[in-house]
Structure 1
């Protein structure tokens, strides 16, 4: 019994190491160590034990990582979501256990990790890709791999390093290349991360106006939020006139910077017009717009141009369940009345961004930056820079905003584009195409960031290949799992391995198979 408890602690600690590798910390190298723990636990196990260890490891990872989801609504959102993510990780580790003793076992296990992340990216409720390993690697040796195969390739490389570490004690000559090769390839890919401005440059400004207060009712004073962003834009315009700042070619306001519909409220439109005229550049305004066709709201970014007013719109395509939408509202209301705070927003369908001054801007609003396909489609629409208007006020001072900034940094390298993150309350940031942060704001502080950024039309290999690297890796992992199960049915039993230093074939939280 004592040994089982110690192994459970060992498993949870392994997942905790992966969490500690995520921002705002910069200990990216802890992630492979967390996977090494998982590799030790899974070696030679049957599927049921593999599932159990994976769930415990996943809880150690996801519970602290997703704490921000319960900042203002409590455990009812946080712990069920963390448990669901851990269970989905357990599905993958059940298969990893079956291939762990096959030839090339660590490679197959890393491929199955990619398949598991693919599953979590589409299921349930449209997927929840938060916690992908790549999003904890905005710095360090693995990041350049994003330009070759996107976030999935980073996840594969980190997992492979960890699973290779787990095998060092069982034959270091075979395991050592698995440990060394992934980070070496990442370092070798560094020169492939392009930063040259092949379409020229543009001066970009990100406005952070701040909100009256943090929490779910941050926009109760909607006019105050709008006025804050108008005021900070006017201050920037004054700085430009006095030579303290370079005049921007385009300006990005955050998501929800105007929760007053400017198409229905002339006073809101007048305030926006005042700010846009003062800065003398096109401004992307995050607004809540009620569609006249059905009377339902859209999370919209409005392109507002000097002297012309609103000329184009982008509607958020990937909506946040349990926030902007509420699946099975009547069912979940049985557990919490907080579900009625969730909106009835309708998704957009067009990935096309905006032509703003010299730049073609891809718009990926807040939650969308976590989804490979959403960002890819917006970039493929001809963009040479990426804008991420976001609103993190509903998550207070938690780590959520830093995790989201890490995603933007990975997207910069993946697609070879500079990224402009404009947040209502922080952290706003300017990111170069190599993932480096040029400038950033603090939390809940009005600010304006201005920087000259390269405009890049060249597509990276990751952009051109699209989803294929992830699909191929996931398919290979599942084929390996099918081979392992076939061997089991034919009576071929893999050699039992040790879990946390003790010989055991089946032991684990899920019980003996």
Structure 2
């Protein structure tokens, strides 16, 4: 085989990574996504395993460092460098598999399965992983978005990856002047699978309704530090709730059936006596309906819990949801018994946040509510299990104060809207000062609050118990694509090894002519 120079491959990989970044917020040009994926296929084409891995790593570095650039200014450059580096490595590992999978017939199919499997693995490992940057998350406000109700986030990522790799195959056929009918048909077929749900959207029947009030209390001071005056944060939510009741009594707003507060609406244990506890009781008593409070709860001298707490005006605090995926080095220190850093932002994490395991929805004002806290909304093991267990309505309690001046807010809101479509449920989002809103099951934003304002949104929302195909499939798409990837890698490795044995050594560049061999004594001309 002829060895391609690496520099052009690196350049093409970098272009592909940049195009993929531009598919997401804040640029949000999702039609660039298949082009970015196609660039990945082109850049890793006709390379050895090691070289393909290096090229894939370049793609991952350009994509992921730019995609989560918001971490640099919000959490810190050290956390940004560490997380982006780990996530970029997964695109390099995928690159190692490309030469094996390209040996197989219909390689775009196998490479799309491998891409999807890579996303699944990096979304949960190491520690709790990082789902940000999954291809599906770029699909909101496109004709492909309704497909998520049929195939879920994993299935949508697969179809988007397949569209990019089929596009690359079509372009390769055109460049080689091959017969292109099959490749063109594959591209059309994948696009049809993506777009058809937009015409035949999956409608989930509603069984009732409830009225929810979403409170965004705002964060005082600089706006990006929830601890700058955490008691005032709680007071803002108390006062906004009391005003809501006054407006409802005056007929300016409908009376809510329950009130939703955001994550970190209390930054200290709300059960401990003091101003925070008294403020919550004041708000709940004024509302006369349950309030879902977002609070940090003590769990011994070494641990805390990030919880959504249903606070009833008659019975007090009841059902609780605990955040499933605390952020490593943001909310807890992994292996603290081995390494306990006392410098920079890490020194502020004096206690580790424990992970929750609850998959049963909360009972709020007679409604089964599936809750998620902040980054939980990006994980497949949080909201979908609650929907399958009977959640009629979804809520997200988030803070986002640390990211208020970044594009993380838009990225998370896009993911949240896709979750509503995937589950076929109304979804209410409460943020301290980020992007609060009420989202319909088709992803349409019915109401929203401007960032860095004190706002109250009161909306009647539908309830449902029916399941979309995506909810019925559950984790099976991930399992199927993982199995397909492993099978393809084994088959591709065998084919790759055989081709290496039969191809012989790499061909020499024809531009460099080998020196003519010297004659042996027996071949020398006779004088």
The match for 2:292 is 284
1:33 aligned to which of 32, 35, 39 = 35
The match for 1:94 is 96
Contact 1:366 1:388 in 2 (8 A): yes
Contact 1:142 1:157 in 2 (8 A): no
Aligned residue runs from structure 1 range 463-502, under 5 A: 463-491=471-499
Determine which structure has more spread, i.e. the larger CA radius of gyration. 2
The match for 1:139 is 141
Tell me which of the two structures has the higher relative contact order, counting C-alpha pairs closer than 8 angstroms and 6 or more residues apart: 1
Shift of 1:277: 2.5
The match for 2:22 is 20
Q: Secondary structure at the match of 1:219?
A: coil
1:5-47 Cα offsets, whole Å, 9 max, x none, are 4442321121111111112443111111100111111223222
Contact 2:10 2:43 in 1 (8 A): no
| C-alpha distance 408-73 of structure 1, shift in aligned 2 (>3 A) | closer
1:170-192 Cα offsets, whole Å, 9 max, x none, are 33322223322223212222366
TM-score computed with the length of structure 1 as normaliser: 0.91
1:394 aligned to which of 390, 393, 402 = 402
Aligned residue runs from structure 1 range 40-55, under 5 A: 40-55=42-57
**Is the aligned partner of 1:65 residue 2:70?**
no
Contact 1:43 1:101 in 2 (8 A): no
Q: Secondary structure at the match of 2:317?
A: strand
| C-alpha distance 13-135 of structure 1, shift in aligned 2 (>3 A) | same
Greater Cα shift, 228-237 or 307-316: 307-316
Aligned mates of 1:409, 1:351 — CA distance in 2:
21
Contact 1:405 1:427 in 2 (8 A): yes
Greater Cα shift, 141-150 or 329-338: 329-338
TM-score computed with the length of structure 2 as normaliser: 0.88
Q: Secondary structure at the match of 1:435?
A: coil
| C-alpha distance 91-16 of structure 1, shift in aligned 2 (>3 A) | same
The match for 2:523 is none
The match for 1:510 is none
The match for 1:321 is 328
Aligned mates of 2:455, 2:223 — CA distance in 1:
20
* Unpaired runs of at least 5, structure 2: 174-179, 504-508, 511-527
* C-alpha RMSD of matched pairs (Å): 2.5
Aligned mates of 1:178, 1:273 — CA distance in 2:
60
Aligned mates of 2:8, 2:254 — CA distance in 1:
59
Q: Secondary structure at the match of 2:82?
A: helix
Q: Secondary structure at the match of 1:417?
A: coil
Aligned mates of 2:293, 2:103 — CA distance in 1:
55
The match for 1:378 is 386
| C-alpha distance 10-330 of structure 1, shift in aligned 2 (>3 A) | farther
Shift of 1:121: 1.7
**Is the aligned partner of 1:84 residue 2:86?**
yes
Aligned residue runs from structure 1 range 183-222, under 5 A: 183-190=191-198, 193-214=201-222, 217-222=225-230
Shift of 1:200: 0.8
Aligned mates of 1:27, 1:61 — CA distance in 2:
15
The match for 1:305 is 312
Contact 1:205 1:448 in 2 (8 A): yes
The match for 2:276 is 268
1:424-444 Cα offsets, whole Å, 9 max, x none, are 111112111111211222222
Aligned mates of 2:34, 2:220 — CA distance in 1:
41
The number of equivalent residue pairs is 496
